[in-house]
Structures are given as structure tokens and as C-alpha cells.
Chain A
Amino acid sequence: MKKNLPSVLLVLVLLLLWQGAAMGINAAYILPSPTGILVRLWELRVPLFKVHLPATMGVTALGLLISIGLGLLLAISMDWNPKLEKALYPVIVASQTIPTTAIAPLFILWFGYSIWSKVLVTILMTFFPIAITVFDGFKSTKREMEELLFTYGATKKDIFLKLKLPTALPHFFSAIKMAIPLSVIGAAIAEWLGAQKGLGYFSKRMMTQLDGAGVFAPVVLLSVVAMLTVWVITIVENKLITWRKEI
């Protein structure tokens, strides 16, 4: 706790400044105060928690799961076969130059307001860090260790399972921690563009009503959920990986 003190203080100061500025401007439809947002969050708790949060979490979870599967598949195949690496790597990198927000309406055109248009946006935003980070993890395997295993008669599969997989595990966790906030952003953007429920959609609806605090409330909720998830993943990671510093 003590080591976090400076950052906690900084956040408190920023919140105070925000509160002061909001009270000074005194126009909640432009800049709602933090306390105003909390109050609105409480007032809107039933639709937010019962309808919109579950909808967004559904998109996020599904998108993230598919991204993990796809990312791992890509990373493993690129590691397995250098030809695949040559073919896939540039395409994966190029895929990141597609402006997701610009292409998202196309997905809505294809899949309508169903969950898949939003899941697709989420996947597009998250599979990349997972594939590339995990692939780099495989590549970071020490060559000497690989050779040592080879002298013990290890097959390619043995080397993958006994050396590369554990070596890449810390990278995998880093990738997940990067992907969680991105998946939330992806889901929210997609909902913003076209949905009938979800926190992104809710935020947009509040905007049309010039309800500043109502726009912020779902955003705060999203951030808190993303932070909590990353925190839980970090705990799991610390339990599972005790050797990070020694590689």
C-alpha cells in the first residue's frame, strides 16, 4: 500500500481539481462533477447493472476468449513453422493499421445489431497483442536451453511443451492484461456505433439527453470493471509465476 501512496495521492488531487472545476463551471451537461457521477451511477444502478453491464461483459468475454484462442493459434503456428511466420506476421501487423472505428459500421452492416458485430470489433482489437506478445515469448526461449534439451534427445514437441510454453507464460499474462482494457474499449465502441443495449449504447443514449453524469456513469463502470479484472489476473499471475525475474 505504501508504495502506491504517491499515485493514490495524485489521483485524489486530480479528482479534487475536477470537482472544483465542475463546481466552478456549474454546467453538468458539459462537465459533471465526480460526486455528481457517483450519484447518477447510484440512481441508474438497476438498468446499468441488470441490463447494460451484463450485455457489455458478454461481448467482452466472448471477444476475449475467441481472441485468446486465435492469438495462441497464430503464435503457435508461427513458432512451429518459419514459412507460416513469414506469411502471417506481416499480415497480422498490417491488420493493425485498419482503423477499427471506421470499419466497425461495416460489421454492423453484415451482422446487424446482434452480438457478433460487437464481438468482431473486440476480436480485431485484441487478437493482435495476444498473438504478437505470445509469439515473442516463444522466441525469447534461450537457445542454450533448447540445445541442452536437444542433447537429451528432446523432440520438437518436447521442446515446445517443456521449454517454450513455460517461457512464454509470463508473456501470455502480459498479453491478457493488455487485451482486457482493449476488449472493453472494443465492445464499448461497437455498442456506441450500433446496439440496443450495453454500456457504450447507454452512454450514447445519455448523450442525446444531454445528461453529462449519465454519459460518464457507464464509462466509470467500464473502467472499474477493467481494472478489477486486470487486478485479479495479476494475482493469479503472481501465484502461478514465481520465476519471472530469473529468465
Chain B
Amino acid sequence: MLRFEGVSFRYPEDELGMVENLSFQVADGEFVAIIGASGCGKSTVFRLINGLERPDGGKILVDEKPIETIKNYSAFMPQKDLLFPWRSVEKNVSLPMELGKVPMGEQEKRAALVLEQVGLADYAKKYPKDLSGGMKQRVSFARTLLSGADMLLLDEPFSALDYLTRVEMQEWLLAQWAHYHKTILFITHDVEEAIFLAKRIYIIQDARPFTQMESIEVPLGYPRNREALKQGEIVELKESLIGKLRRSVSL
């Protein structure tokens, strides 16, 4: 379980804080989306979780342990695929294992297994330049999985893809989640994407610094299909979320 306890943070070069006295939690195996206007600090939450930034105050706990004392608890998947062009697909996904000093034979075995699972077994020896945008994101996801962490932080992973690919990738991601039972935190600014994917949505409405995220349950079970998005209740939820986001955007 991930828990923020009164976390405050300000970038040294900024006057205004980003986050102030923020508390929230995410249960194991949950799929939670975080939505908010651009620049509201969604990505900062991830940077705090994965240790790229240290909070000025408060505590971040994973399974009740402060994150400074534990390793490899979360894996980050950025918006851009950030695949290394000089590494083959197989070598790209093996990168976190290489850094974790996993034995070579074991690396190959796990990489093959995960590539099979994400449907890219035939591309193991290819290079990123040979892949489409959707494929690259799948490789990037496979790499995130192979870090072995139980909590995946996905930062707008599909926002650079075209609409059809994005829709396909969303369905694909739900299937992967069902298969791997990992905790997923998913940042997006696309309300529909958040509703389709997440069990619970955290919405950031405050101007900077934000002090809370409203938690909203999505009244849908899994597995999901797109038809469900047309239900009256869901359409209403979508409208109300968009309304909340609009209020927080000052033009």
C-alpha cells in the first residue's frame, strides 16, 4: 500500500509550492487514475514516489515503510517511450534487470516471457526504429514490468499515440493489469481514459500548491468494454469530472 502523509514539496527554483500537506493512499492491486489540468503537479506526485524529488515535509510510505529505506518498490513509465535506440527490444526490456544484477540466463528467460505476454515475441531482436508508436509503448511497459516492482507509475503513457491506437492500448493495458495484478497509478488529462481504466480517480482541482485530491469511485466492474462508457451514470460522471477540471483551469 502506498500512503502520503502530510507531504509538502516545492521546486527550489519556484516561488509557489507544488504540493502542501497532501495525504492520500492507494491499496495494493488497485488501478487509480490521477487527473488534473496541465501543470497542476500530477507528475510531481510521481517524482516524489519514485524518489527523484525529496519531500520538504511529511512522509511517503510503501507498506508502512518510508520509501528512503526500501528499494525497487515502484517502476516508472514515462510519456515518451524513452527506449534506448542502440539496444534491441530484448536488451531494452532487460535494462532494469541488468541494473538489478539479475543473472544473464534469468534475464533472457524473463524478457522472453514478458515479450510473449505483450505480444512482441517476434520483435525481440529488432531495434526501436523498427517499431510503431504503440509497439514502442508496449516495449516500454514490458521494461517497466521487468523492474520487478509491484507498483507501476504510468505518466500519460498513451497521450502521444493516435486515437485508435490509444483505445487499443487502453484495452490492452487492462488485460495486462488483470494478468499481473500490479498496483497501477495512471496519470492522464483525458477524463474518458481515466474512467475507462481506473477503479478510482483522484482529481486535482486546487491551484498550486494543491493540498488534496478528491477521490471518486468509478461505478463499473472489470472486465470492462467501451459500451459501458455510454451508460447514463458514466456519462454523468464524465460531465461532472470535466466540469470540475474546467473550474480549476483559469484561462
Binding site for B on A (CB under 8 A): 142, 144-145, 147-154, 158, 162-163, 166, 169, 241-243, 246-247
Contacts and interface: CB of A to CB of B under 8 A. Distances in A.
B82 A148 contact: yes
A125 B171 CA distance: 59
Contact of A144 (B50, B78, B99, B127): B78
Nearest to A169: B86
Contact of A151 (B75, B84, B98, B100): B75
Interface in B72-95: 72, 74-76, 78, 80, 82, 84-86, 95
Interface in B119-135: 127-129
B78 A243 contact: no
A144 B82 contact: yes
B41 interface: no
B129 A153 contact: no
Contact of B128 (A148, A158, A246): A246
A46 B194 CA distance: 79
A157 B219 CA distance: 48
Contact of B129 (A149, A158, A246): A246
Interface size range on B against A: 20 to 34
A151 B53 CA distance: 11
19 contacts: A144-B82, A147-B52, A148-B82, A150-B51, A151-B52, A151-B74, A152-B96, A152-B100, A154-B99, A162-B84, A162-B95, A163-B84, A166-B84, A166-B86, A169-B86, A242-B129, A243-B129, A246-B85, A246-B129
Contact of B80 (A144, A154, A162, A169): A144
Contacts of B86: 166, 169, 241-243
Interface in B97-141: 98-100, 127-129
**Secondary structure call for the B interface:** loop
A151 B140 CA distance: 14
B50 A149 contact: no
Nearest to B146: A152
Nearest to B100: A153
A151 B51 contact: yes
B205 interface: no
Interface centre among B95, B127, B129, by most chain A C-beta atoms within 10 angstroms, is B95
Contacts of B100: 152-153
B204 to A, nearest CB: 22
Interface centre among B51, B71, B72, B85, by most chain A C-beta atoms within 10 angstroms, is B85
B95 A151 contact: no
Contacts of B50: 151
B188 interface: no
Contacts of B99: 149, 152-154, 158, 162
A163 B99 CA distance: 12
Contacts of B147: 152
